[in-house]
Structure 1
Amino acid sequence: MTFRRFNIGVFAASMLLSVFLLFASAKVCAQAESQHEFLSVATPATILYDAPSLNAEKLYVASINLPLEVMVKVVGWMKVRDHHGHLAWIEDSHISTKRFVLINSPVGHIYLSPDQASPLIFQAQRDVILEWLGMIAGGWVKVKHQDGQIGYIRADQVWGV
């Protein structure tokens, strides 16, 4: 009789631990999904592959400062998603932690301050890359153009936030 209770107790404890680990891993996954990591291409012309190997099929060449969303990291490689949603692998030596964003609307409006009533500094066409200087409360991003102009753009007008 004692042996049977012990087995039931071990079984119940095992089931309770399994349920706890399942919920804990689901919470970690949900947190990971809500916190996107964006990096950028560090070299002028970087090949992206369909697998983490130099022998894999070459998919396309990415230009410097292109923002990429990191999906998976393995030794020497990162699986990334570009602004079109394409997945590819890139050597991690070709990645920079300096962040950039890409205009994803027909025209991006960059203002003097994070307010649409403030003066418009400049406009940028779709696919123009701007340096990301940080998120601002209220859905604004502080950016810098390659010419040195600094301003604010709505986060919904750029990809890579």
Structure 2
Amino acid sequence: MATLPSLTKSALLLACALAAQAAMAVDFRTAARHGVLLYQQPQDSATKLFVVSRGTPLEILAEQGDWLRVRDRQGSLAWAKKADLSATRQVEVLRTSNVHGQADSASPVVFKAEPGLLLNLLDNARNGWLRVKHQSGQEGFIRIEEVWGA
């Protein structure tokens, strides 16, 4: 069995790692205003499926012209106008959760977050913790599995 030269192996491993990282990248945006319409197809004349409120996180699946294919927290698929979505990131709390002062479950609890609460996403350190901010101004860290939209 022939072996690849060391440089070729390294390049191949690097390419695989970069491809895996790109495949795992998830893009989210939030509804820019109250009453954002989501459509069955990427056109104004399409059936309107439902309406979302400002700050609702939506996963971006595809782009077609001025439209984005999105998925909501329940898994519903729809199309949204790009102009109706914002790059400002918010996350939605899935279940009653503690928001800690540090990225450590042993650190003091800053506040409790109830299901459905929208929090501004300040940072994702890629360590399982998200730095978030409540609309009251309180900041802290929440586990990534406690929210949708990260």
Bin for the TM-score computed over the shorter chain = 0.7 to 0.9
Q: How many angstroms apart in 1 are the aligned matches of 2:20 and 2:27? A: 14
TM-score (norm 1): 0.78
Residue of 138, 144, 150 corresponding to 2:139: 150
Q: Deviations over 1:134-154 (max 9, x none)?
A: 112531000001111100001
The total of aligned residue pairs comes to 135
Give 4+ residue runs of structure 1 displaced > 6 Å after superposition: 26-29
Residue identity (%): 36
Correspondence for 1:126: 115
Is 2:42 the counterpart of 1:52? yes
Amino acid at match of 1:67: P
Using the TM superposition, name which of 26-35 and 53-62 deviates more. 26-35
SS at match of 1:65: coil
Amino acid at match of 2:24: S
Correspondence for 2:28: 38
Is 2:79 the counterpart of 1:79? no
Structure 1: give runs of 5+ residues left out of the alignment: 1-25
TM-score (norm 2): 0.84
Q: How many angstroms apart in 2 are the aligned matches of 1:51 and 1:103? A: 29
Taking only aligned residues, the RMSD between alpha carbons, in angstroms, comes to 1.8
Shift in alpha-carbon separation, 1:29–1:55, aligned structure 2, 3 A = farther
Shift in alpha-carbon separation, 1:138–1:32, aligned structure 2, 3 A = closer
Correspondence for 1:98: 88
Q: Deviations over 1:59-103 (max 9, x none)?
A: 110000111110011111000011111111001010101111111
